[in-house]
Amino acid sequence: MDAVKPLIVQSDRTLLLDVHAPEAEDARAAILPFAELEKSPEHIHTYRITPLSLWNAAGAGISPRDVERILNRYSRYEVPQSISGAFSETMARYGRIRLREGPGTEELLLTAGSKEIENEITAAGVLAGHLTKVEGGFSLKLTSRGTVKQELIKLGWPVQDEAPLREGQPLEIALRPFVLRDYQIEAARSFVGKGGPGTGFGVVVLPCGSGKTIVGMAVMALLKTNTLILSANVAAVHQWIEELLDKTTLSREQIAEYTGDSKSVLPVTIATYQILTWRPNRDGNFPHFSLFRGYPWGLIIYDEVHLLPAPVFRVTAELQAVRRLGLTATLVREDGAEDAVFSLVGPKRYDVPWKELERKGWIAEARCIEVRLDLPDSNKIPYAVAGKREKYRIAAENPRKEDAAMELIANHGEDHILVIGQYISQLEAIARRLQVPLVTGKTSNTERERIYRDFKEGKLRVIVVSKVANFALDLPAASMAVQISGSFGSRQEEAQRLGRILRPKKNKNSYFYTIVSRSTVEEDFAANRQKFLAEQGYHYSIQHWTASPLSGTAETPLPAEERMALR
């Protein structure tokens, strides 16, 4: 036993991290590539090692010996022998089933590492329509490649896909002279690999504000092929176009926008998920899926891959011969479809902890603070008798939040501030009080971009934004966010909103405030979001206010450290 070590490894594959131990920060960064955070109260954080987390680690080149070495390095007690072998067995499943080029031009060959695995595959009725038993394994059509991989991972067998990838139409593209950060170069190279089997598809996980777009462009410059980029909204499409023109040798005549406003196709085409998943009626076909199939793409970039809609998964299953790069700040999906990302886009190829980039100065240091307020007396009975969903809305629209937001903004006179929320009527009210613009999904793209430009240029210090702030919003001047309502504790959303304020500023911290109604369901959802922040290594403090000072009621006295956070 070594009492100063931060980690307790348990036989059920849970890891308990003592956040007060001397090496806690280093241990957290070391286990993140192969463990998932489950709980994060004040003193002990709980992580769990799952099959998918181990397969992602294996896909990133981490071996069972690496996992054991890290656990032994930081464990307070001897690592249970019963799980050491289990890690090796689970990670060894990655690579036991391989997918290779078949004898025919339209065929692939699936091979298993043993007769027992072959028998298990044969017995899986869900695969019967896709696989044909042949000498040496199973034959399948090219069009079944993604579906077979997706079904096998559900059975506990991740497929190592070594079948050839299509080259696509060549495209001469290079990066203009500018300094790439070391991790951006490493991320691009880890995706491209040496060009052999099993490379050219996967996910790069980097914090918001760390330059994921630049990683995408670096990959494009390495592969030099026609590229389809899928992004979250029209604003993100325009940001990609601006970045490509600024940082690559591409001309405007080589880049097309495929959105509700414009539907052209050129060697580099940027589309929204929304336009691709549009269909005239609920049971109809997706007419814009032809964008995937009708052009000689050599690379597809899924920006914000954690938001990938289910219909795009369907077509992605068909696109397994095309190089696929997923970019995201978090692999967490609220629909639990992380295994589909693994199978259809690819395993995690590169990951850097947020706090590591913060220490190096590549992203801003952020203070995350939760402010808790009581509901007004007039709201307490309606809240008590409401249904679960309505309870959340009553708590989220607590009128005292407006006063609290006004007070926080008044206390941060030097910051550029985003007020972010879920409910339009609430946002309209606070925008009126602040006399600042409100950006929602209904704001025209022209007006939206004008507001963002004024914010970037310092003509506006505060803007109010709806959940459009969750998606690829590039506002490097933002140094503070006030979150007054959110989407039921979504960790995806927390990652995106925090990312809005992480661009580094000289000698300046960033502040991320979340205002929560005390003793309501909103506290429970806030705890879920807190998990994500703790996983990234952020200190999350909680302040209790009786009411905002602007409402005429004195604020509850705070400890000196917490008062400093408001200055």
CA 539/CA 359 separation, integer angstroms: 14
CA 448/CA 440 separation, integer angstroms: 9
DSSP-assigned letter for residue 223: H
Q: Is the pLDDT of residue 268 over 90?
A: yes
Which region among 195-209, 400-414, 480-494 has the lowest average model confidence (pLDDT)?
A: 480-494
- Nearest to residue 186, comparing CAs of 226, 208, 219? 219
Q: What is the reported pLDDT for 532? A: 66
Which region among 20-34, 430-444, 527-541 has the lowest average model confidence (pLDDT)?
A: 527-541
* DSSP β-ladder status, 137-141 and 268-272: unpaired
Q: Is the pLDDT of residue 264 over 60?
A: yes
Read off the pTM: 0.75
Q: What is the 3-state secondary structure (H, E, C) of 307-359?
A: HCCHHHHHHHCCCCCCEEEEEECCCCCCCCCHHHHHHHHCCEEEECCHHHHHH
Amino acid at 138: F
Q: Which residues contact 309 (CB under 8 A, 6 or more apart)?
A: 273, 277
- Nearest to residue 138, comparing CAs of 160, 115, 110, 100? 110
DSSP-assigned letter for residue 170: B
Q: Tell me the pLDDT of the chain averaged across its residues.
A: 84
Between residues 103 and 158, which one has the greater pLDDT?
158
Mean local confidence (pLDDT), 153-170: 90
Q: Is the pLDDT of residue 386 over 60?
A: yes
Q: Is the pLDDT of residue 59 over 60?
A: yes
CA 460/CA 407 separation, integer angstroms: 18
DSSP-assigned letter for residue 521: H
Q: What is the reported pLDDT for 136? A: 87
Confidence grade of residue 256 (pLDDT, cut at 50, 70, 90): very high
Q: What is the reported pLDDT for 309? A: 80
- Nearest to residue 381, comparing CAs of 396, 369, 366, 391? 391
Between residues 268 and 471, which one has the greater pLDDT?
268
Which region among 303-307, 352-356, 523-527, 541-545 has the lowest average model confidence (pLDDT)?
A: 352-356
- Nearest to residue 352, comparing CAs of 368, 336, 333, 330? 330
Mean local confidence (pLDDT), 398-419: 91
Which region among 161-170, 256-265, 556-565 has the lowest average model confidence (pLDDT)?
A: 556-565
CA 61/CA 461 separation, integer angstroms: 45
Contact 245, 255 (CB under 8 A): yes
Q: What is the reported pLDDT for 491? A: 57
DSSP-assigned letter for residue 431: H
C-beta neighbour count of 392 within 10 angstroms: 24
* Backbone angles phi and psi of 9, in degrees to 5: -100, 125
Confidence grade of residue 469 (pLDDT, cut at 50, 70, 90): low
Which region among 60-74, 118-132, 141-155, 486-500 has the lowest average model confidence (pLDDT)?
A: 486-500
Q: What tens digit of pLDDT does each residue of 281-295 get?
A: 877 778 888 888 788
Beta bridge partners of 463: 418
Contact 70, 63 (CB under 8 A): no
Q: Is the pLDDT of residue 398 over 70?
A: yes
Confidence grade of residue 499 (pLDDT, cut at 50, 70, 90): low
- Nearest to residue 342, comparing CAs of 541, 57, 44? 57
Q: What is the reported pLDDT for 503? A: 67
Domains parsed from the chain with CATH numbers: 7-92 (no CATH), 97-161 (no CATH), 182-352 (3.40.50.300), 358-565 (3.40.50.300)
Confidence grade of residue 300 (pLDDT, cut at 50, 70, 90): very high
Amino acid at 567: R
Mean local confidence (pLDDT), 437-451: 88
Structure tokens at 427: 């946002």
Confidence grade of residue 553 (pLDDT, cut at 50, 70, 90): very low
CA 29/CA 352 separation, integer angstroms: 9
Confidence grade of residue 500 (pLDDT, cut at 50, 70, 90): low
> Which of 211-220, 257-266, 313-322, 492-501 shows the highest mean pLDDT?
211-220
CA 15/CA 426 separation, integer angstroms: 41
Between residues 353 and 334, which one has the greater pLDDT?
353
Q: Is the pLDDT of residue 489 over 50?
A: no
Summary count for the chain: helices (H), strands (E):
22, 23
Q: What is the reported pLDDT for 493? A: 60
CA 390/CA 384 separation, integer angstroms: 10
DSSP-assigned letter for residue 370: E
Q: How far is CA 230 from CA 31, 259, 328, 445, in A?
A: 31, 10, 12, 18
- Nearest to residue 334, comparing CAs of 532, 538, 55? 532
Handedness of CA 467, 472, 478, 480 (dihedral sign): positive
Cα dihedral angle (378, 438, 363, 222), rounded to 10 degrees? 130
Which region among 135-144, 365-374, 468-477, 518-527 has the lowest average model confidence (pLDDT)?
A: 468-477
Question: What distance lies between CA 3 and its chain's CA centroid?
Answer: 35
Q: What tens digit of pLDDT does each residue of 71-96 get?
A: 999 999 999 888 877 888 899 898 89
Handedness of CA 199, 205, 210, 211 (dihedral sign): positive
- Nearest to residue 99, comparing CAs of 343, 411, 441? 343
Confidence grade of residue 348 (pLDDT, cut at 50, 70, 90): confident
Q: Is the pLDDT of residue 1 over 60?
A: yes
- Nearest to residue 240, comparing CAs of 204, 210, 263, 272? 272
Confidence grade of residue 557 (pLDDT, cut at 50, 70, 90): very low
